[in-house]
A and B are shown apart, each in its own frame.
Chain A
Amino acid sequence: RLRKWQRKIRISGATERNLAFALSELDRDSSRLGLPRSVREAASMVYRRAVENKLIRGRSIEGVVAASLYAACRKCNVPRTLDEIAEVSRVSKKEVGRTYRFLTRELNIKLPPTSPVDYVPRFASELGLSGEVQSKAIEIIEMAMENGLTSGRGPTGVAAAALYIASVLLGERKTQRDVAEVAGVTEVTIRNRYKELTEQLDLGVTL
């Protein structure tokens, strides 16, 4: 019995150590991504639930932390791409994506696909674009969604093209290159998306 007790202490000690490590890892990733405390708390909630349900088995703590953070960002409508999460954590994009799927399935977390709208505020502020341009971009994205122009397209590419178009329409023009850089997509993608948007939507302006 004494031995059983000692093992328990040892195990709980390890559990606490692991939790402490996970939380420090979470803090490190979060600060690198410039995420607010509320998102970190949401992520730690997901992580703790993963531990409670013994979902860490066979997986690295870093991977589960990264996936928890990815999920929390989406849930809080301040999405980060898998590439961005992979960059700050020491987990590959593939591993983050795989663990994310596993966690959402096992914890019954149901998140709709990321909306391009959620990327607008972040990209716009990094580009120094006004609230008017943001509103216009969101308006364009909503029109695109209604016309089936977002199915299968990357959310960041759609958001980038909408912001580019809105910036031109409202006289706050940004170059495709600058928009592409903050959105993490290529200029070719922005070009392809805005061609499609301007050709199929009545945006009232010839670019």
Chain B
Amino acid sequence: MTDVDIKIENIVASATLGKSIDLQTVAEALENVDFNREQFPGLVYKLKEPKTAALIFGSGKLVCTGAKSIEDSKRAIKLTVDMMRTMDPDIPEEFEIKIQNIVASANLGKPLNLEAVALGLENTEYEPEQFPGLVYRLDDPKVVLLLFGSGKVVCTGAKSAEDAKLGVEKTKARLAELDLI
């Protein structure tokens, strides 16, 4: 009844190094880097393994996106910071990493009649003219789901894998409760 397989598709995490960074120096030392201060204050650093992209800021804070597991996300951040430390030895070894958002996909198994779901389910937005998915906002856990006619689902906004899974399970239970699935 509550068995739903979730696949983590993307993780966004942030870290604070506690020391300001000279982005210009980093930008000049590496090739696989994008940096346009006028366009965006962060320097973009991409890793092939794990396949991620890091946004590094002058304040010493950074954001990592693209990882498919929490472990990979942390590993990518450590690799990125190690790279930065080769240019600035003062960057600390220990720093905090916070998972900010987890995007996961799942399949409810049966197709959904989105028109019916839009009428029966609460807190939904469904505008097929603009997007094929129905937006469903859950309060607990505080996540947002995109429901598709195929029965496939995307859950985003979760801070933990547990919440992402819980979000999908609660959605499935609510749909069953309303006889919409």
Contact = CB atoms under 8 A, between A and B. Distances in A.
Given A112-B119, A148-B111, A148-B149, A81 B132 contact: no
A112 B133 contact: no
A145 B115 contact: yes
Given A112-B119, A113-B115, A152 B125 contact: no
A82 B148 contact: no
Interface in A137-157: 145, 148, 150-156
Interface in A185-201: none
B132 A113 contact: no
Contacts, number: 44
B125 A101 contact: yes
A152 B133 contact: yes
Given A113-B118, A145-B115, A151-B114, A82 B130 contact: yes
Q: How large is the interface on A (under 10, 10 to 19, 20 to 34, 35 or more residues)?
A: 10 to 19
Contact of B127 (A113, A145, A148, A150): A113
B115 A150 contact: yes
Contact of B149 (A97, A151, A156): A151
A112 B129 contact: no
B148 A112 contact: no
Nearest to A115: B115
Nearest to A81: B129
Interface centre among A101, A113, A155 (most CB of B within 10 A): A113
Contacts of A113: 115, 118, 126-129
B59 interface: no
Interface in A2-32: none
Interface string B75-111: 0000000000000000000000000000000000001
B126 to A, nearest CB: 5
A148 B132 contact: no
13 contacts: A82-B130, A97-B130, A101-B125, A113-B118, A113-B127, A113-B129, A151-B113, A151-B114, A151-B115, A152-B114, A152-B128, A152-B132, A155-B128
